[in-house]
Amino acid sequence: MMNTYEAVVILTTKLSDEDKEAVKTKISDLVAANGEVISVDDWKTKKLAYEIKHETEGVYFLYTFKANPEFIAEFERVLRIDTSVLKHMVIKKEA
């Protein structure tokens, strides 16, 4: 049974535009291999509410996707070990 999820991913601003696009695509491909990408919204660069890893701004992306619940742990693990990801949050949307 696939659930619908939203994931906000904040990338470091130190990446080039090509690197940002590569990380965005890598995350989309990971989701697509394990579920279905509904949309990816680029929220551009925004000021962070508090400093994360000595940075005051981040590049925000909102992913909306469908996946099995078992995939979320793996998805979060991949995001945690990616050094270009400052912060992420995945929430399950109500049906």
Question: What CATH number does residue 65 fall under?
Answer: 3.30.70.60
Domain of 41 in residue numbering reads as 10-88
pLDDT digits (tens), the chain, 95 positions: 899 999 999 999 999 999 999 999 999 999 999 999 999 999 999 999 999 999 999 999 999 999 999 999 999 999 999 999 999 999 999 86
Report the candidate in 62, 69, 75, 73 with the shortest Cα–Cα distance to residue 31: 75
Half-sphere exposure of 44 (CA within 13 A, CB side): 1
Report the candidate in 70, 67, 69, 61 with the shortest Cα–Cα distance to residue 88: 61
Question: How many C-beta atoms surround the C-beta of residue 17 within 10 A?
Answer: 8
Token code pair at residue 27? 């995350």
Question: Rounded to two decimals, what is the model's pTM?
Answer: 0.93
CA dihedral 34→38→43→44, nearest 10 degrees, is: 60
Structural domains in the chain (count): 1
- Residue 94 in any domain: the answer is no
